[in-house]
Amino acid sequence: MGGGPGIRVHQFGGATPRRRGGATARADSPQTPLSALQNLLPLLLLFLIPLLSSLFSGLGSPDNLPRFELDVPAPPLTHLRTSSRLGVPYYVEPSAAREVAARGRWAALDRAAESLLVGRLSRGCQAEHETRDRLMREAQGWFSVDRARYDEARGMEMRSCGRLNALGYSYQ
């Protein structure tokens, strides 16, 4: 086992391999409660920090608003309310409506309803644009354009975009 011509093989320390430094046997010392806590501290922090943040996230939050439904009443959400700025109709539970009125929180609830509606309409408008663009691409062939399909795609009704524009927003 010389390693072949031109290769030198060296073995230091005798015939038996040595143990690495980390694998040496340690003297078993009794574990104190403090050392056990130090060993568990990273694990405790891993669970306690998210727990504490979730407990304190609800404190002082002004947005503890009741549930609402846009456009169509869904029992028990039957009390009709129209937002003051954009005129968005939405429905809340009658008992929640009395509570919101007592606390004077209609403006916050109106903003939440308007924000939800504008977000839904923006996503719907984006989907309508993508559908229209896809149909227009499909109408364009390799050598000619199917004019009827192309015109139909261009004239496609885009309800969400129309409603978004009526509210004073535009799709980017």
Q: Which DSSP string do the residues of 47-105 spell out, in sequence order? A: HHHHHHHHHHTTTT-TT-PPPEEESS-BTTB-EEEE-TTT--EEEE-HHHHHHHHHHT-
In a domain, 48, yes or no: no
The pLDDT value recorded for residue 60 is 41
Strand partners, 91: 69, 80
In a domain, 57, yes or no: no
Q: How many domains does the chain have?
A: 1
In a domain, 152, yes or no: yes
In a domain, 28, yes or no: no
In a domain, 23, yes or no: no
In a domain, 10, yes or no: no
**Residue 75 preceded by cis peptide, ω within 30:** no
**Locate tokens 């694990």: which residue?**
43
* Residues 118-155: tens digit of each pLDDT: 999 999 999 999 999 999 999 998 888 889 999 999 99
Model-level pTM?
A: 0.59
- Residue 64 region by backbone torsions, left for phi larger than 0, else alpha for psi between -120 and 50, else beta: beta
In a domain, 153, yes or no: yes
In a domain, 74, yes or no: yes
In this prediction, residue 38 has a pLDDT band, given cuts at 50, 70 and 90, of confident
* Residues 82-116: tens digit of each pLDDT: 998 999 999 999 988 888 888 888 888 999 999 99
- Give the containing element (helix H, strand E) for 122: helix 106-139
Q: Can you give the residue range of the structural domain that contains 102?
A: 68-166
